Structure 1
C-alpha cells in the first residue's frame, strides 16, 4: 500500500510544481538577467579593454550598478554603435548602455530611462588651427565629419552650409582623416573627444577654440518600446544609485 502511493505523491508534487512555474511565467515573472549592448569605441563611456577583452567604461559601471540595485544580472555584449537600436528592437539585446543621446526620433522606436548623464556636441580641429569657432557657421563651405549613427550626422546635414558631410565608423577613424587634412573639422560627443585628447590617444588634433555646444541632451539606459516592466526596474534602480551617491562616484571615477 505504502509503495503504491509514494510514486503517486511524487507525480502529484511534480504536477503542482509545473503548474506553479507555468503560473509564474503567465504572470510575467521578471527576468533574472538581461543582455546589454555597449560599443567598443566610446571611451570613457564604453570601450574594449584589450587586457581583459571585456567592455569597460562609465556606462558599463552604471548598468552594473543599476543591476545590483535592481536585483538582476547583466551580460554586457560588444555591439557596433549603429547596430545598437536594431539589436534591441530585434531582441538580440534587452538594454542599451552607451553614449547614445536621447532624441525625439529615437523615442519613436525605443524607450529611454531617467537620465544618468547629460552633454552636447564638441568640435574638433587640427592642432595648428588657432581660429575661434564659437559656432559651426565658421565652417561654411568646408568638409566636415561625424560618426555614423549619431545625432551629429543629421545635425550637420540639416545645417546645410557644408561642402560635404563625411561619416565614419568611429571617432578614431574621423580623427585620422582630420589630422591628415582630409576634413576641416569633426563633430562628435564632447566628453569622448576631450577625454581621448587629454589621454593623448588622438594625435594632431584639439578641441576647437571657443566652441559652445548647442545640441545638449541626456544619456540614459534604453529598452525596447513598450517594455514597461524592464523600464520600471531600471528607473527604480537609477533612483537608488543617484540617492546613495553611487552614480556620482562612477562619473568621478571616469573623469567626465
Structure 2
C-alpha cells in the first residue's frame, strides 16, 4: 500500500477551552479520581474483552498515563468509531483511547496527544482475491466497490484518489466488514493493515490483499 500516516492515541474533550481551563478540568478529574474513557472495539488498537477489560495499544498507554496523574478509576465505554469525537464533544466520556489519525478537521473539534504510533493501509478481500485488488489506487477506475468504516480517514484517502462516491460503501463498525466483503456487498474493505489482518484471521471467507 502506498499510504502511511501517523496516529495519535488520545484526545481530550476540551479542545475549545483555553489552557488554564484545561488545567482546571484535569485538576477536577484528579480530585474525583475517576475518568471516563472510550474505545471503539477495534483490535488491536482499543477494545474490551468478554470480561469487559480494556485491551490494546490505546488502553495500555492511557492506563499508564492515568496512573502517573493519580487517577485510579477508569470507567470504560465502547462505541462505534464514528461516534468517538461526537461523544467526546457531547461529554459522554472524557478521553478517547483509540488510535486515530490526526486530521485538520478533527483538530478543529478536539485536542490530540503527541503521535504514539504509525501504520500502513490494508485491504480485506474475498477469499482468493477474485478481483485481484492490491491497493487503494485500484478503485480509481472500474466499478469495484470498497467498504469504509464511518468516520475513518480511509474515506478521505479515497476521495483524494477521485474514487466515485457511488463505489463507497459505509459500514458502522469493523465487525461488519467480513460479511460485507464475503457477501459481495463490497469488493474490499479499506482499513489499517493491522485491522485488516486481524479481520482476516476471523474468517476463512476473507483474506488480506
TM-score grouping bracket, smaller chain normalisation:
0.7 to 0.9
Q: Is the 8 A contact 1:146 1:165 kept in 2?
A: yes
Match of 2:208 in 1: 207
Cα distance in 2 for partners of 1:145, 1:190 equals 15
SS in 2 for 1:150: coil
SS in 2 for 1:116: strand
Cα distance in 1 for partners of 2:79, 2:186 equals 27
Flag the structure with larger Rg: 1
Correspondence for 2:169 among 166, 171, 187 = 166
Cα distance in 2 for partners of 1:164, 1:132 equals 14
The reply to whether residue 185 of structure 1 matches residue 188 of structure 2 is yes
Cα distance in 2 for partners of 1:89, 1:174 equals 27
The reply to whether residue 62 of structure 1 matches residue 56 of structure 2 is no
SS in 2 for 1:173: helix
Match of 1:213 in 2: none
Q: CA deviation at 1:132?
A: 5.9
The reply to whether residue 175 of structure 1 matches residue 174 of structure 2 is no
SS in 2 for 1:62: helix
Q: Trace 1:228-247 onto structure 2 (pairs within 5 A).
A: none
Q: Trace 1:90-169 onto structure 2 (pairs within 5 A).
A: 90-129=90-129, 131=132, 133=134, 135-139=135-139, 140=141, 141-162=143-164, 163-169=166-172
SS in 2 for 1:68: helix
Q: Is the 8 A contact 1:44 1:57 kept in 2?
A: yes
Cα distance in 2 for partners of 1:76, 1:195 equals 22
Cα distance in 1 for partners of 2:199, 2:144 equals 24
Cα distance in 2 for partners of 1:202, 1:62 equals 30
Could you tell me the TM-score, scaled by structure 1's length? 0.63
Q: Is the 8 A contact 2:45 2:58 kept in 1?
A: yes
Match of 1:47 in 2: 47
Q: Is the 8 A contact 2:178 2:199 kept in 1?
A: no
Runs of 4+ in 1 over 6 A off after TM superposition: none
Could you tell me the TM-score, scaled by structure 2's length? 0.75
Cα distance in 2 for partners of 1:106, 1:203 equals 36
- Could you give the per-residue CA deviations for residues 92-122 of structure 1, whole angstroms, max 9, x where no partner exists? 2111111222111111111111122111321
Unaligned runs of 5+ in 2: 1-22
Q: Which structure dedicates a bigger proportion of its chain to helix?
A: 1
Q: CA deviation at 1:151?
A: 0.9
Match of 1:194 in 2: 197
